[in-house]
Structure 1
Amino acid sequence: MLATIDLRGRTADGADGAGLDYARVVPRAAVDVEAALGVVRPVCDDVAARGEEALREYSERFDRVVPASFRVPQAAIDEAVERLDPELRAAFEVSIARRRTVCAAELGPAGVDVELAPGARVTQRMVPIERVGLYVPGGLAPLASSVIMNVVPAQVAGCASIAVSSPPQREFGGLPHPSILAVCGLLGVEEVYAVGGAQAVAMFAYGVPGLCRPVKMVTGPGNIYVVAAKRLLRGIVSIDSEAGPTEIMVLADETADPTLVAADLVSQSEHDPLAAAVLVTDSPALADRVQAALPDQVAAARHSERITTSMSGRQSAVVLVDDLEQGLAVVNAYATEHLEIQTRDAGALAARVTNAGAIFVGSWSPVSLGDYSAGSTHVLPTGACACHSSGLNVKSFLKAVHVVEYSRDALAEVARHVEVFAEAEDLPSHGRAVSIRFADPS
């Protein structure tokens, strides 16, 4: 089912003349955000110009339902909470509690305070972004878990105003999915909108008079049109990332259980036909056993067609390596969203991983745990962005502000340095702004 890429005997670039670029050797799904920009630009411009009238038109066109009210009534949120199955409610509440505990630890020190010389002090305050708009997908799967992953860190960071938007659903009378509304209710989020796609991002960025105030930041995963809208409107608002199709990479040796490895690959392929499922192993025998386990697991899955498309796509493969050292090089080059390590001494290998959105260590830490109840975030960088970006966390919703306070003597100590520096940059008035403070007033 999975294609095989054999890297045995092939070293990475820089090691010899026949080296490979491991970052390119494992292909990813083709996602053309630039092409989608041409589709979302007129939508975003129209929402900015015509507001709620445009939202009605796009809701009818894209979602095939127009909500009675784009702002979800509080009564609908309360009803969604009341109707929750008790077992599902307990699962939601465990996920919320664990995510909140981890977020509180992420918050860390309130700031830094440095005295550079007597009377010369620079402090740093972490200030929460005042108002944020959080997008929750509602397409192939109603991701109630994404409400938790977006809202909880924003709440712990101290964001004063939090709005959530998710596409209206025809089968629920134009409201977002009941599970999404219920989690909003459990979290105390009262500002919820039944708006999806690029138009939701535009609503957040520009605001809609009489409906929704503009936000300062938009976060949350979505389809390519949501991603394109976030790229287009970046600068008007801050964004978390441009999330693409989900990815799982499993680094495994002969000690791994092939049934578990297969199940974990299948679990992430369930998300999207473009999802990437990659096994990196130095054990051809394990690779064969995983391949043998996949057909029965896929056939038994509810979304077998979607999973089959994902696993047979160019973005999914078994990668054979000489040893775990080469495997680690492939892992760090690929910079996957989710990385599982199922090897002996998995913790030691995990400590050497530099590029991954989240790392799941050992056979008892599957990615699906992180999707729901681990306490970690599941809003993670995709498309190799884990080499430079982090998953959504409390600090994503904070901005750093330096506060500079010098006494007269402290400024006098560096005054000449400032004047000389300013003169070298041909900005003499910068220097004068310092020297004038010490000039004889007579």
Structure 2
Amino acid sequence: MASSNDSSKYSLKRPRNLATLLSIIVPGLGQMYNRRFLKGIFLFIIATSFLITTWDFLDIGIWGLFTLGTIPREHHSVQLLIQGLISVIVLLFGIAIYLFNIKDARSDAVAKENGKPNPGLLKGFTNFYNDGFPYFMILPGLIMLIFIVVLPLAFMIGIAFTDYTQYNAPPRNLLSWVGFDNFIDLFSLDIWKNTFINVFTWTIVWTVVATTLQIVLGLFLALLVNDKRIKFKRTIRTVLILPWAVPAFVSILIFSALFNPTFGAINRDILSQFNLIIPWLSDPFWAKVAIIMIQTWLGFPFVFALFTGVLQSVPADMYEAADVDGGTRWQKLKFITMPHLLFATAPLLIMQYAQNFNNFNIIYLFNEGDPAVRGQNAGGTDILISWVYKLTFETNNYNMAAAITIIMGLMISIFAFFQFRKTAAFKEEGRY
């Protein structure tokens, strides 16, 4: 029993445990115990300065994040939410410094137990340069990323769980946390449920059909131009890439005028010859057909250029071997050409689907998501992203817009994650 007590007392007196305990109580004190006085003083100053300069900000920020204010017209809920999120980020940085202080003190104590001498000032700077300099250099970029990307995303997620609407907006009113009520309303209230189902199904149809058509057209033209019997390849490639060279918004506005049922050239000069007048802008079905055709026109040049470049890298001896074995054109396309194309381009093709899922430009510039549809608060050609835009800037339903944005982000992330994992390029990464 005495031996056990002696062992326990000895373990508490070991330098690593004592240094860890001291650094937990006061940052930098464990380093001073390890006779790393400059490092200890530096960490103590950093910790003290952090607490003095951020205490009031963190206090108000954390309070505001939980309450969103208590006095209408005096407390601004949105500002308190933003300050609260910034406080959480700053607090995480402080916790990271605190944990580094504990780990560093324990590491120095372990080295001391093993009989290693404390490194001098020059040796300490050398170790920092070798081990920590890369992290030090990426720190400004990381901080910028957090405040430019992570903070707005966190703010959007926070808004999705509040009652922030046009009729309940600060500073006149205070916001409240409503939990998952916005998501429940989206799938339970008729006006929101019907609109969401219609817009969501059209978004899926739009993404799949428009993207698939532009990929198929680009693949067909790339295979055609790559045929040895085709002459003037450079001229043909240049002409086919021209739609990509023109800014997309210019092409969309031109097409919007061409499809105008009153003065557009398509109805007036082409379809009128067959006694046809199609309501391209006023009928939801024909507006969707027009948008899909325009996106096919705008998107195929990139796919064509992508496939054309990959086709140049397919070894010619593989086709020669297939000819010797009596392979048909279809067999060469299926077993040689397509595997090479998909291996090199699958990630980019997946990104084409993700990009068209959120292709706001063509929807808004062509017809602003119209025409209107009875019984829903979105236009006939609105996809989720354009509907979110209208909810945010036209009807000021910020909470519902944020909730829909979260659902969109989750869908795209899950789709991209699983599709990337199935691609051969992803499976082969890191093997070489």
TM-score (norm 1): 0.24
The structure with more strand, counted as a fraction of residues: 1
**Larger C-alpha radius of gyration, 1 or 2?**
2
Q: TM-score by structure 2 length?
A: 0.24
